[in-house]
Amino acid sequence: MINDPTAVFVYLAGVLGVVYWLSGLKPLARIFEIAPAILWAYFVPMVSTTLGITPADSPAYDWMVRHLLPVSLFLLMVTVDVPALLKLGRPATIMMLTGTAGIIIGGPIALAVFGTWLPPDAWKGLGALSGSWIGGTANLVAVAESIETPEAMFGPIIVVDTVVGYGWMGVLLFLSAYQLRFDRWNHADTSLIEETNAALAAKYEAIRRPITIRDLAMIVGVGFVAAYACVLLGEQMPELGDPKIISHTTWAVVLVTTLGLTLSFTRISDLEGPGASSVGFVALYLLVTAIGAQGDLKAIVDAPLFLATGALWIAIHVGLLMLVARLIRAPLFFVATGSMANVGGALSAPVVAGVYHPAMAPIGLLMGVSGYVLGIYGGLGCAWLLGQVAIHLL
């Protein structure tokens, strides 16, 4: 077993490097299309812990969660183009928010149905999952830390996130072949899609530049200073809720998210040109390996009931999306991208958007990033509702 905290960190960094190296090999391309690299970043460390290679508890994990989470959130938030998000238009905004609302209300309803047969602290696992399903992995980690999700919950929750979340993504990809039929049936106006696509694609192409040592030093320096300041300030704030929802970590997450969004209106956002968000994603993926290493595959024996809960949860999310799409006559593109911007986040939303309209991946990315913004607040709200349901089930 690898016990030394530095050795544990090095092992996890090595696993992440190998996974993403393999994902770039052409003979393995099909495998990574079916199971994205981020899933392997979860499961390989989890298998390592199950086999006794890495410990289930280590100071390395604590340090990574405490510091890499706020760094990744800050770098992702500070690069958000809020004005561009607002220009996505009424249908995109409504469908995005509808998808978020479907996750927030769907989780508590699903827990109320299946909670009797789930473990008493299942609500904490589902609370973490709500973060993942409103924006992605960064929010899963943030909400999980905020409500102190037990390590034993990560096994079944990751299974649900993978099977149900990516299963729904597969359905959306399949439905792309029928979008013209859906749009005609729904009398949808697709002019906004063509108009915004050209402007956004040109903007992102214009700001990209090769990263330099100066750029990287600034990105790392600003990211760690801002994150550490928010962590210190969060420790001075009071913990609130019964069950506890607003912890010191929650305050740090909310502070760093709000600070990043505020600074996104300043020149600091220019750091996205050389790829500040990419550095943020690397910090996030390192954090994912630590989360995976704290799980245990033996917990998957509880997965069938969790899978049923997740399936009902997604069904409520989808039902609400389809109802609102019919009411406002939204194109299927906005239904699919709005849903995946929540459930899959910035990793999956561009993929789905690109399948529906090959030149529309930038819009999918923007909607996915907006999911990160909503996920911090929406995930904590959903976790609170789940906690209230859990109290009544006891």
Query: Whole-angstrom Cα distance, residue 327 to residue 175?
Result: 20
pLDDT of residue 203: 66
pLDDT single digits (tens) 371-386: 766 777 888 889 899 9
Q: Quick count: other Cβ atoms within 10 Å of Cβ 209?
A: 10
| Nearest CA among 9, 124, 162, 177 for reference residue 382 | 124
Q: What are phi and psi of 113, to 5 degrees?
A: -75, -45
pLDDT-based confidence at residue 161 (cuts at 50, 70, 90): confident
pLDDT-based confidence at residue 176 (cuts at 50, 70, 90): confident
Alpha-carbon distances of 373 from 6, 49, 52, 61, 180, rounded to whole Å: 32, 32, 37, 25, 31
pLDDT single digits (tens) 307-356: 899 999 999 999 999 999 999 988 898 899 889 888 877 666 766 777 77
| Nearest CA among 351, 325, 354, 352 for reference residue 197 | 354
Does residue 243 register a pLDDT over 60? no
Terminal-residue alpha carbon distance, the chain: 39
Cα 62 to the chain's mean position, in Å?
A: 20
Left, alpha or beta for 248 (phi > 0: left; psi -120 to 50: alpha)?
A: alpha
Does residue 218 register a pLDDT over 90? yes
∠ Cα 357 136 323 (to 5°): 60
The domain made up of 5-393 is a member of CATH 1.10.8: no
Query: Whole-angstrom Cα distance, residue 282 to residue 16?
Result: 9
**Which residues neighbour 335 within 8 Å (Cβ) at sequence distance 6 or greater?**
95, 321, 322, 325
pLDDT single digits (tens) 88-128: 667 888 888 999 999 999 999 999 999 888 888 889 999 99
What is the average per-residue pLDDT within 260-288? Answer: 85
pTM above 0.85, yes or no: no
Residue 348, SS3 per DSSP = helix
Q: What are phi and psi of 58, to 5 degrees?
A: -155, 145
Contact (Cβ atoms closer than 8 angstroms) between residue 110 and residue 351: no
What percent of the chain is modeled with pLDDT above 70?
84
- 240 forms beta bridges with 246
Domain boundaries, given as residue ranges, for the chain: 5-393
Q: Could you write out the DSSP letters of every residue in 221-271?
A: HHHHHHHHHHHHHHHTSPPBTTTT-B-HHHHHHHHHHHHHHHHTTSGGGGG
Give me 244's structure tokens.
């506890």
pLDDT single digits (tens) 182-209: 988 988 877 766 666 566 566 667 777 8
Residue with tokens 């994603």: 281
pLDDT of residue 143: 84
**Which residues neighbour 314 within 8 Å (Cβ) at sequence distance 6 or greater?**
106, 164, 165, 168, 343
Q: Please give the mean pLDDT across all residues of the chain.
A: 83
Query: Whole-angstrom Cα distance, residue 234 to residue 132?
Result: 22
Residue with tokens 């530095």: 6
Give me 129's structure tokens.
């999952």
